[in-house]
Each structure stands twice: as C-alpha cells, then as structure tokens.
Chains A and B, each alone.
Chain A
Amino acid sequence: MSEFNQDRLGELAIEALERTAFVAAEPADTEFLDELSSCEWFTRIRYTGPISGWVYLAGSRGFMLGLASSLLGVEVEDVTIEKEGLDALRELTNIVGGSVVSALGGDHCKLSLGLPEVIESGAFPSGGAGEHCVLDAEGERLELFWQPAEASDAQAA
C-alpha cells in the first residue's frame, strides 16, 4: 500500500478520464493552482474489506459540464450541472474508486466498493493522512483525495 501515492492516484483518474470520456488531464502545476476555478461539487465512495477507506472527488463547474458533454457527445450548452454534471461526477467517482480498489487489492482483490454519493464541501478532507492531488483537465479543476479508514475514522472522531 505504501506504493500508492498521489502520483498513482492522479494517474488512475487521468486514465479514467481519457478512456471513458476522451478528456485530457494532467497534474496541475502547483505554481498556477490559483488560475484553476474552485471546486463546487463534491462526491465520495467507500470501499470495505481487509482494509477500508474513502475516495473523494471534487470538480469545478466547468469540469463537470465538460465531462458530461464529452460522455454524452453533446455541446456543453446542452447539459446542466444538476442533472448530467452530477451524474457524470458520480460515475467518475465510481470508476476512479474501482481503480483505486484494484490498485490496493492487487490480483486477488477482496475489497468491495460501495455506491458513489454527493457530499457537502465540508466533508471533503482538508488534510491529514491520505493522498491528495489536483488535476488540470483541459483548464478545469478536478481534485482527488484517497483516505484510508484509520484516517477517516480519526477525522470523524
């Protein structure tokens, strides 16, 4: 598990975006983070088994609209945040969560994935144990946080 770091977390999300929606992304340049729009929508998914934890995602408005339009093959003007945008972020959370579980569980994975859920901004981890990365997805912000259970339990306490 020690091999699972923020670079790997970012790679899994980049792969999910490229394969599923043909959206290009790369780790954001830390010197220019302020130039990316803030995240407005937040999701998470839980995994359980021999180890457990959470994978959190957060996207800017533009990211979600772009992701939804790419998935559907329609113009950005034809999708809404509340419907297609949130559905797209939930599905991306499901896919990235599945990739994280596969990476953590290895070839004989015994981990099980839950269902993605939309959360309030305050529930997105602001720090602590886990891995955090920010991606620049065609000029829009996508943030990810992987939080192992002991860290999430401590935060809840």
Chain B
Amino acid sequence: MSCNLLIVDDSPILRAAIKKVVKLAGLEEDRIFEAGNGKEALELMSTIWVDMVLLDLNMPVMNGEEFATELRKQPDLADVAVVVVSTESNEDRLARMRALGAIEVLHKPFEPEDLRRIIVNNLGVKL
C-alpha cells in the first residue's frame, strides 16, 4: 500500500529512531518524510500529500498544537491523520489535541511495537 508518513519532531536523533520503527511497520523509506517543527511540516505538506503525521508537541518555532490548529484550517489537509508522539501529560493540552482531531496519543517513552501497531492499524500497511 502506498502511504506517505511525516515525522515532526525537533530531535533529529528521535526522528531517526522513529523512522526505523516506521520502516519495520512496512513503509518504504522514500515515503517517510521529516520536519523539525510545525512550520517546516506545513511547508512540506504544501508540496506533498501525507496520509499520517507523527507529531511531537514541545517544539521550537511552531509547536504541535499550533501546527494542528493550522492544519485543520486548510480544507484539503483537515482530514490528515495526526498521532501525537510526545512526553506531554498535561490533560488540558491533550484534550485540545483530541479536539483538533488527534486519533491517538503515544507517550514517550514508548515501546516500538506500540508505534508499529498504530501505523499498521491506521494506515493498513503490511507487517
């Protein structure tokens, strides 16, 4: 199945670690994209279609909540699946993310298998 996935996290090393898990879930490397903050992610999404965003919340420049707010304002991107992958525990902020359409919240530290299951369940990629 052809799906594009975008990892949005300000830590290059964590993006690389997540990318490893995503590849194990069955996505091809050339369908995995990266952005260091919400602004970079929106710029990237203006040029390529993305099926799922793995989104950190605490980032400089544009954080995950600001990104999701902007994303939902754009009719052609409003239905993109967003999975929060973050250390965030603040229940008010997580509630706002769910209201913005986040389909899952994965807390760091997470088991790679948990992330793989979310990708497989939501994108239907092959194991």
Contacts and interface: CB of A to CB of B under 8 A. Distances in A.
Interface in B55-85: 58-60
7 contacts: A71-B14, A87-B12, A90-B11, A91-B14, A94-B11, A105-B90, A109-B89
A152 to B, nearest CB: 20
Interface residues of A, number: 33
B58 A94 contact: yes
Nearest to B11: A91
A112 B89 CA distance: 8
Chain A interface, DSSP helix/strand/loop, else mixed: helix
Interface of A: 15-16, 18-21, 49, 68, 71-73, 84, 87-88, 90-91, 94-95, 97-99, 101-102, 105, 107-115
A124 to B, nearest CB: 21
Interface in B89-104: 89-93
B13 to A, nearest CB: 4
Given A20-B109, A98-B107, A114 B87 contact: no
Given A84-B13, A98-B89, 19 more contacts: A16-B108, A16-B109, A20-B17, A20-B109, A68-B13, A71-B14, A72-B16, A91-B13, A95-B87, A95-B108, A98-B87, A99-B109, A102-B107, A107-B91, A108-B91, A109-B89, A109-B90, A112-B90, A115-B59
